[in-house]
Amino acid sequence: MSSSTVDPADPVFQLHVGGKLAVASTVPLSSREDLSLAYTPGVARVCEAIAADPALADDYTWAGHTVAVVTDGSAVLGLGNIGPRAALPVMEGKAVLFKQFADVDAVPVCLDTQDVDEIVAVVKALAPSFGGINLEDISAPRCFEVERRLDEALDIPVFHDDQHGTAIVVLAALRNAAALLNRKLGDLRVAVSGAGAAGVAVTRMLIAGGVDPARVVVCDSKGIIGRHRTDLTGTKADLAADTNAEGRSGDIAEALRGADVLVGVSGGEICEAAVAGMAPGGIVFALANPTPEVHPEVAARHVAVVATGRSDYPNQINNVLAFPGVFRGALDARATRITDGMKVAAADAIAGVVADTLTADAIVPSPLDPRVAPAVAEAVAEAARRDGVARA
């Protein structure tokens, strides 16, 4: 992309001039006394206190309310591997959302490496400056190892939003869709199209939330994942061991035959005939952006509830419903990690915001609903205490 593609009159470019973030002081600096308190010599006393008790950094620095938004630029939105510099506007936007919806400060950290060892080493070295690490737009399968290794190495929350943010909101939406249709999660037959970062996390989250793993079928680009496949390793091999109890093989159409739920996180088109093969009164979450796997109007001919990742259709499955409140709650509890219980609690809280006003076109709250982040934060903090990972 060259400078010729920039239109100075375009309101998008106008908004981004100078970026979307700035640093602001939280203390006065209008006198010599102010300066001596905020900086030398007064600051030395705070440094000595933290050196004696590192936990005091949560109280006397920004670490207790600040997260790093870390990317390597390898899987940015639908743009793909565009690199760290081009990813920066997205990371700035993420930081703005953290601040707007949960009063969490966030700092974009765009790394000029896509080597797993280097990413892990850099983030570990930066971790003392932050209260949490939000991993963003790192491609699969490397994202799984990066998150796992950081989660094991650090005593602060590590959360790959592309995986878990999506999964939390999908579980919330499915809870409410099932309630609206008077169905139980454990009775639903679920087909997941896509076995990348989001697909794996969605599958695991639905199982943690009450979906029967035996009734889940996951598809990747080669078809249904199951024990019959000899090409599977790592996370896909684990999925094969835990799901598809019937031993189905074939393509997405076979996975959808008789299914109650389709969750699309693949970007691949699914034909209308395959959707028509679902059980009556079904549910379709077609989350690829900007082009859903199934057009919402096509899906609506065959199922009872439809959701997408787009803001111009009802039931937008948007990560902003999850990640601000998840980190707010984790920081408030001074959690050492984010557990499955905390994620399920977040999903339940999101679902609960609109549980009394459900319709087929309103199974999740609006991303702008001010009730969401506080409800999620409270539920996540309580779950952290319940799961034994809270320090506050």
Residues belonging to the binding site for a divalent metal cation are 136-137, 162
- CA 274 from chain centre, in angstroms, equals 28
How many secondary structure helices (H) and strands (E) does the chain include?
A: 16, 10
**Is 124 a catalytic site residue?**
no
The annotated binding site is made up of 136-137, 162, 289, 318
Helix or strand or coil: residue 235?
helix
Question: Which DSSP state fits 87?
Answer: H
d(CA 333, CA 386): 11
Characterize 27-51 residue by residue with b for buried, 16 or more Cβ atoms within 10 angstroms of its Cβ, and e for exposed: eeeeeeeeeebeeeeeeeeeeeebe
**Is 99 a catalytic site residue?**
no
Of 39, 99, 184, 222, the catalytic one is 39
The annotated binding site for (S)-malate is made up of 289, 318
Helix or strand or coil: residue 359?
strand
- CA 75 from chain centre, in angstroms, equals 14
Strand segments, DSSP code E, in the chain are 66-71, 105-110, 132-135, 158-160, 190-193, 216-220, 223-224, 261-264, 282-286, 303-308
Q: Are 342 and 326 in contact (CB under 8 A)?
A: yes
Of 20, 60, 94, 184, the catalytic one is 94
Positions marked active-site: 39, 94
